[in-house]
Amino acid sequence: MRHWPFSTRRIKTELALIALFNLISFLLFVHFELFDKLDDWFHSHPDSSLDEVLLIGFTLAISMSIFAVRRLKEASSLLKALRRQAERDEVTGLANRRRANQALQRETERSYRSGRRYSVLLIDLDHFKSINDTHGHLIGDMVLQRFGKVLQRRARQLDTIARWGGEEFIVICPETEQQGALTLAENISALLKEIDVAPVAQVTASIGVATLTDDDTPDSLVHRADMHLYAAKQAGRNRVVGDAQTSEASQLQA
């Protein structure tokens, strides 16, 4: 696991060590009666002033403490910014695949504990490569950004929305059964009509929907959603395919 070059815990540890060092120094001065010896030395040198030296030392100690506290705050802010950057997609501002994988693991464990299943939507923008090739990557990025806003507007606050890779997105829906996830997918598909990025004529998407089963792992759940997404593309794109439709198709073939 890669570690950050610094952390709040490390800086706090350094400050604690500095405080401990100062305390030990003070105790040593008391134990060896160094304060009395210093006092005797200053009395034998009338040109020096113990009060002035102590004042200077106290001022330096306060200044170092203020500097250390400010450094701690700056480091904490930078650390938070770096963590946000590591978990965000730079084009859309959505969560990235790393954060999505963390959410999948978390929701799987929570579902097994609570008995409440969750669902996953895997979404692929249709013919996105053609948009990039025809109109350029700048227009392509604008389409991705607008689609990200559509997802944010339609999904719930507790859902995790992430760019899975390329033109693929994932929506992780806690405590959501298959029918609720299918309804969300259909609503997202309908909202795509509102994406207006000239000169792109129309934006559509294929969506695969899978709901956690007793035998699922995060990987198997996403794999099943990916299979449904592939089925949606094979059926002509611009449609939603979930566990129910795939089961019905399998029964008809049997």
The predicted pLDDT at position 49 comes to: 54
Q: Do 77 and 107 belong to one domain?
A: no
What is the CB-side half-sphere exposure of residue 246 using CA atoms within 13 A? 20
The predicted pLDDT at position 179 comes to: 96
Q: Do 78 and 52 belong to one domain?
A: yes
Q: Do 110 and 13 belong to one domain?
A: no
pLDDT tens readout for residues 197-219: 999 989 999 999 999 999 999 99
Three-state DSSP state, 190: helix
List the one residue out of 191, 188, 156 whose CA is nearest residue 174.
156
End-to-end CA distance of the chain: 48
The predicted pLDDT at position 73 comes to: 76
What's the full length of the chain, in residues? 254
The predicted pLDDT at position 63 comes to: 62
The predicted pLDDT at position 16 comes to: 74
The predicted pLDDT at position 79 comes to: 72
The predicted pLDDT at position 213 comes to: 96
The predicted pLDDT at position 244 comes to: 78
Where among 29, 56, 86 does a domain terminate? 86
167 catalytic per annotation: yes
Which residue of the set 14, 74, 167, 186 is catalytic?
167
Structural domain containing residue 173: 97-253
Q: Do 59 and 160 belong to one domain?
A: no
What's the CATH code of the domain at 238?
3.30.70.270
Does any domain span residue 91? no
For the chain, which ranges sit under pLDDT 50?
1-4, 247-254
Q: Do 66 and 160 belong to one domain?
A: no
pLDDT tens readout for residues 120-165: 999 999 999 999 999 999 999 999 999 999 999 999 999 999 999 9
What is the domain count for the chain?
2
The predicted pLDDT at position 38 comes to: 61
Spatial contact of 88 and 96, defined as CB atoms under 8 Å apart: yes
CA angle at 63 for the pair 57 and 67, rounded to the nearest 5°: 145
The predicted pLDDT at position 24 comes to: 72
